[in-house]
Structure formats: C-alpha cells, structure tokens
Amino acid sequence: MPNIVFDASSLVGALLKEGSVPERALIVARARDVICLSAAVVDEIRSVFIRPKFHRYLAPRRTEQILDLLMAAALFVEPTETIADCRDPTDNKYLELALAAQAEAIVASDNDLLALDPWRGVRILTPAGYLASREA
C-alpha cells in the first residue's frame, strides 16, 4: 500500500463538513493507503484544529473524530533531512515527511504545496485529485 501525507489545510475541509471531498479522501486513504505522520505535522494539525474561528462550525466531538480517523492506523516517520523547497517555509515539514516516508503523494489544499506538483517524484494533489487518482 502506498504511503500518503495529508497537509493541515486539506484536513480542515474534512473537519468542517461531514461527507466533504476532503473527508472522503481521508477515508479512502485509510482504506487503501498508509497515512504517514510526523511529530511536526501532528503538532500543526492539532494547532490548526483548535483555532477559535472553527469552533462555531463544529459538531460536538468532530475534532476527535477526524483526529482518530487520521491517526488510528498512521505510520509515524521522523524526517532526517531538512528541506527548503517550498515558498512557504512552514510547509516544508510536509515535504520532509513525504521524502522520509517515501510517500507516493501529498494530499493538500495549500497552493504553496500544490504549486510544486510533482516534487521529487511525489505527486501533490488536491483531495479531489487524490480521489480521482484512486478511482481510476
């Protein structure tokens, strides 16, 4: 099963709308691929999820549901190489993880990451693009 990395921005879509394309991408990845995480990526996802601007849109326990779906069967990989290829330096953590995990793809909604597709043989796909690649 291929290794896959999700960025925090793609997971916000899953968090905010049940049944959304990003949530479906996460569910498909859990079933067909290996979701890879690092400590830095988990820290960013958690910090984004607890932003006050999202609270009024969330059903009770929604944050825990998405985090459980993401992390329950995840492979934790700690990058050893520092990457500086992204125009937004805060997004390099996803590239570092993808490289260390030998990921096939990064699922992202962040334009700074999407602009790099393909990057060192790693596809960088929107959640919809990821779903289309799995349905083909």
Mean pLDDT across the chain: 94
pLDDT at 32: 94
CA dist., res. 20 & res. 7, Å (int): 16
pLDDT at 54: 87
For residue 15, what are the domain limits? 3-135
3-state secondary structure 20-49: CHHHHHHHHHHHHCEEEECHHHHHHHHHHH
The number of folded domains in the chain is 1
CA dist., res. 77 & res. 127, Å (int): 22
pLDDT at 9: 95
pLDDT at 66: 92
Q: Report pLDDT digits (tens) over 20-79.
A: 999 999 999 999 999 999 999 999 999 999 898 988 888 778 899 999 999 998 999 999
Residues 76-84 have a mean pLDDT of 96
Residues 89-108 have a mean pLDDT of 98
Looking up residue 27, the CATH number of its domain turns out to be: 3.40.50.1010
pTM of the model: 0.94
Residues 114-131 have a mean pLDDT of 97
pLDDT at 136: 67
Quick check: helix, strand or coil at residue 67? helix
